[in-house]
Amino acid sequence: MSIDAPSSAQQRFIDDFAQMLTAWGMPLTCGRLYAWLLLAPGPVTLDEFAEALGISKSNASMAARDLEGIGMARRLTERGSKRIRYEATTEPGNALKRNSDILGQLAGLIRSRLDAVADGRNRARLADLATFHLALKAAMDGVIERYGSA
């Protein structure tokens, strides 16, 4: 009954896009929600998600909050209603900040355990790996900063 169901080209885009995000460990449904947020004419309610994507409302609710939790969507409350609408965070960095965070965590893990787990060549290699991770993180954060994140 929603006026704005995805066209078949949009459905294909939604599925392909989500499939790619899968490679970063994102559940397919989360990716589909996010893709639809990028295409929908405006902020989307949970019922609209459920209908547009052919999923249950409880599933939509959980996926939407996961998305919100990792900064890829934000919720808009409507005055005088319990209803929530979601929109994609327009700042594209949020989706990828996560990767940069993982790089930082990996580097942190390596550096904190370095002496306990390795020595000699392995120790040096691990130290290099941590340095590399941090350099990569810095580069990513620079771009994210430049294009905006929030």
Site for a copy of itself (CB under 8 A): how many residues? 49
Contact map string, positions 73 to 112, toward a copy of itself, x by CB under 8 A = ---------------x-x-xx--x-xx--x--xx--xx--
The vertex-17 CA angle with 8 and 44, nearest 5°, equals: 70
Contact map string, positions 68 to 87, toward DNA, x by CB under 7 A = ---------x-xxxxxx---
CA-to-CA distance for 80 and 75, rounded, in angstroms?
A: 15
Helix, strand or coil, per DSSP, at residue 4: coil
Report in angstroms how near the CB of residue 90 gets to DNA at its nearest: 21
Closest CA to 141 of 114, 111, 107: 107
CA-to-CA distance for 124 and 130, rounded, in angstroms?
A: 10
65 binds, among a copy of itself, DNA, none (CB under 5 to 8 A by kind): DNA
- Contact pick of 11, 36, 45, 130 for DNA (by CB under 7 A): 45
Closest CA to 60 of 79, 44, 81: 44
Interaction between residue 28 and DNA (CB under 7 A) = yes
Report in angstroms how near the CB of residue 20 gets to DNA at its nearest: 14
Distances 97 to 91, 136, 141 between C-alpha atoms, Å: 11, 12, 8
Q: List residues binding DNA (CB under 7 A).
A: 27-29, 45-47, 54-59, 61-65, 77, 79-84
